[in-house]
């Protein structure tokens, strides 16, 4: 599978005007079904992007995580491991991405970068002070089996305006949908299938 849309998505995400500080404008997330070659994805991402290795459904992740961490360092990517701080520490990842249900664990973790998923305003408020940014979903209609009904541009923009930390849109992000987030105070975007074009 070619990840030929990664560079275009990164350029579009750079136009988003919300605060993000040292964080990437684009995070690419792996998926056990929709990302058959995480190494090719890491090689395709432009420097400065983020890569989140989601661990569910993938056995024997130690070697993959270590290789991805090496590629990320060489290519200037921010590399996070989802839901597994021990694996993140062992492989030398930059940090951890916390599912909303595990957010409380972020209070005890010490990494350079931490993000969390959020599915509503309450989760965004709980994440403040614990992580560097939240990935709010679902932004647009998505083929993901875990996607809920889309929140839509205006609800995510309203959440971003009220949030005390950077808000990234996740779900249904593509080169077609991402420009609709421009000028709304959203800090960045996160994509799974969108990086394939």
The HSE-up count of residue 106 (CA atoms within 13 Å, CB side) is 28
pLDDT at position 58 is: 65
- In 3D space, the residue among 152, 144, 30 whose CA is nearest the CA of residue 81 turns out to be 30
Residue 153, Cβ density class (10 Å: 0-12 exposed, 13-18 middle, ≥19 buried): middle
CATH label, 6-196, candidates 3.30.30.10, 3.90.650.10, 3.20.20.70, 3.30.428.10: 3.20.20.70
- In 3D space, the residue among 63, 16, 30, 24 whose CA is nearest the CA of residue 178 turns out to be 16
- Which segments of the chain have a pLDDT < 50? none
pLDDT at position 57 is: 56
pLDDT at position 59 is: 65
pLDDT at position 145 is: 61
Task: Using alpha carbons, list the distances in angstroms from residue 53 to 27, 102, 118, 178.
Answer: 10, 16, 17, 22
**Which pair of structure tokens corresponds to residue 135?**
């990935």
**Which pair of structure tokens corresponds to residue 13?**
């995400």
């Amino acid at each position: 599978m070619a990840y030929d849309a990664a560079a275009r998505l990164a350029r579009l995400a750079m136009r988003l005007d919300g605060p993000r500080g040292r964080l990437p404008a684009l995070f690419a997330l792996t998926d056990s079904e929709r990302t058959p070659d995480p190494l090719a994805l890491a090689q395709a991402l432009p420097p400065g992007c983020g890569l989140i290795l989601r661990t569910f459904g993938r056995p024997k992740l130690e070697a993959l995580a270590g290789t991805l961490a090496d590629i990320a360092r060489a290519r200037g990517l921010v590399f996070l491991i989802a839901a597994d701080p021990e694996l993140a520490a062992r492989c030398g990842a930059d940090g951890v991405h916390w599912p909303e249900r595990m957010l409380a664990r972020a209070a005890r973790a010490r990494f350079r970068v931490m993000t969390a998923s959020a599915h509503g305003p309450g989760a965004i408020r709980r994440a403040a002070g614990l992580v560097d940014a939240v990935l709010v979903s679902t932004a647009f209609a998505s083929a993901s089996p875990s996607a809920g009904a889309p929140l839509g541009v205006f609800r995510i923009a309203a959440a971003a305006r009220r949030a005390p930390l950077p808000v990234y849109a996740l779900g249904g992000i593509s080169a077609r949908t991402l420009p609709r987030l421009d000028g709304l105070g959203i800090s960045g975007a996160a994509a799974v299938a969108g990086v394939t074009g």
